[in-house]
Amino acid sequence: MALPLPEYDRLDATGMAALVASGELSPRDLLEAALARIDARNPTLNAVVDDLRERAEARVDNLPDGPLKGVPFLLKDLKQHLVGTQVTGGCKLYKGKVSRYTSELSRRYEAAGLQVLGRTNSPEFGIMGITEPELWGPCRNPWNRDHTPGGSSGGSASAVAARMVPVAHGGDGGGSIRIPASACGLVGLKPTRGRVTMSPTLGDAWQGFVQEHVLARTVRDSALLLDIADSEPTIGEPYAAPAKPGPWVDEVGKDPGKLRVAVCRDALFANEQHPDCVAAVDDAAELLRSLGHEVTFATPPFPQSDLVRAYFLTVAAGVACFVEEAAAEAGKKPSFHDFEAGTWMLALIGWKSSAAELEWSRRVIQLAGRGVAAFFEDHDVFLSSTLGRPPARIGELALSAAEELQVQLLRHVAIKPILDFALDQMGKGKMAATPNTQLFNQTGQPGVSLPLMWNDQGLPIGTQFVSRFGDEATLFRLASQLEEARPWRDKVPSMVRP
């Protein structure tokens, strides 16, 4: 069946907004085109889990006259509130609960003219690198529906890759923008710590690991959406990112100059990389050489095992708080039966870990931050693969039946030495698929995943580029240079082709 506005699938958000501004398209044209694609493509992907079309239709003729007026948009089902709508965080205790306020970032998005059409699938509390929550069911990758789109912003990535919307909201606490960007062939930037506000109800999440931004198909869209998010200061912020040098969109297309690029072919938080991921790094390094950049092999110094443990301890403490907040909101005590097994395991670790252990984690991370910052005194960009392997099959990375049984047993005998052992096993096993992103959540540098390669099975293999703290400008300049040299904009999954 032919879908309305055939050109919709090739337009990015910037292009759509330009056509609305010129009068060639109306916000209603874009709304109808987006909803038709959601209706046609979402049933096999399960990317959009909450439909807000009635709200969008009520707004369509009175949208703010902002830089993205009428452009269809989706919010991840985590953290970002819109008054009068639900945000579940993938947790069944929040289903049906309506927000009493609008988050500042959501307000900025809508003030720019974006049309929020719904919410996208996310794992419970965003703690997994896959998107297979019990509440909503698994989300699928448009490039191959037997495979995951990654997580935790998997629903947003799936929807953008399937051209339901040109851009969608995500959050990144351990790679949750960059991981699905890699899996779905998109541009996924994690901004510098403190760049994007969590006002009014949060100062940070996971001790500053989490940064919010978008999944996009083009570098210019990522830059424009960051301009919208990074538009004005807010009071009471716990971190301060360096001020931007000017509009981020002005960095797109600028000559990055001759950059000193450090290349790493190894996994950062694991022991091995899939050959496809190594090939993606080698290919990107050769492309950078051809563009005149200085390429060397180097890796920031960091204590791997200590940082992995510190990462999980920090996340576990945060998850324990999430569980308690959700239970309190529902007027009950935390119960194993109200949460997924993996969530409960992390909550147990959080409850049983000491304040001294959390302080140890904080010191380990801050010391590593100094080492990584010093590394960027001698290098402008760090290059690695985004993932440690190609996108997994649906269900492949979920907890096994044996692991679920172990969690059930632990809820009765949550003995600290056993939980410590479980924590160590998480570090050894669960990082293998996604080992390269967490370091930069811990240390705060901006990083972007770019879709420079597809493997022989037709799955995207993303490449990660990281720059010094506060220096998104270098990433936007380099990313736009790579986008021109190796265009990916017109690569589309077969399910989208006419």
Report the catalytic residues: 76, 152, 176
Amino acid at 403: E
Contact (CB, 8 A) for 224 and 13 = yes
Give the C-alpha separation, 315 to 205, whole Å: 9
Considering only CA atoms, which of 409, 388, 406, 410 is closest in space to residue 397? 388
Count Cα neighbours of 221 within 13 Å in the Cβ-side half-sphere. Answer: 29
The pair of three-digit structure tokens given for residue 302, joined into one six-digit string: 């960091």
Integer CA distances (angstroms), 182 to 150, 215, 344, 391, in order: 8, 10, 28, 8
Give the C-alpha separation, 387 to 405, whole Å: 29
Q: Is 421 exposed, middle or buried (0-12, 13-18, 19+ CB in 10 A)?
A: exposed
3-class DSSP state of 191 = coil
Q: What share of the chain is helix, strand, coil (3-state, %, to 5)?
A: 40, 15, 45
∠ Cα 88 94 96 (to 5°): 90
Contact (CB, 8 A) for 74 and 116 = yes
Give just the sign of the alpha carbon dihedral 200, 203, 205, 209: positive
Other Cβ atoms less than 10 A from the Cβ of 332: the count is 11
> Which residues are bridge partners to 211 per DSSP?
172
Considering only CA atoms, which of 494, 396, 373 is closest in space to residue 443? 373
* Count of positions (residues) in the chain: 498
Query: What is the Cα 5 distance to its own chain's centre?
Result: 29
Amino acid at 123: P
- Which residues does 363 contact at the CB level (< 8 Å), separation at least 6? none
Strand segments, DSSP code E, in 401-472 are 447-454, 460-467
Contact (CB, 8 A) for 167 and 75 = no
Contact (CB, 8 A) for 76 and 171 = yes
Q: What is the DSSP string of 131-154?
A: ---TTT----BTTBTTB---SSSH
Work out the widest C-alpha separation in the chain, in whole angstroms: 66
Other Cβ atoms less than 10 A from the Cβ of 327: the count is 17
Considering only CA atoms, which of 330, 341, 323, 320 is closest in space to residue 95? 330
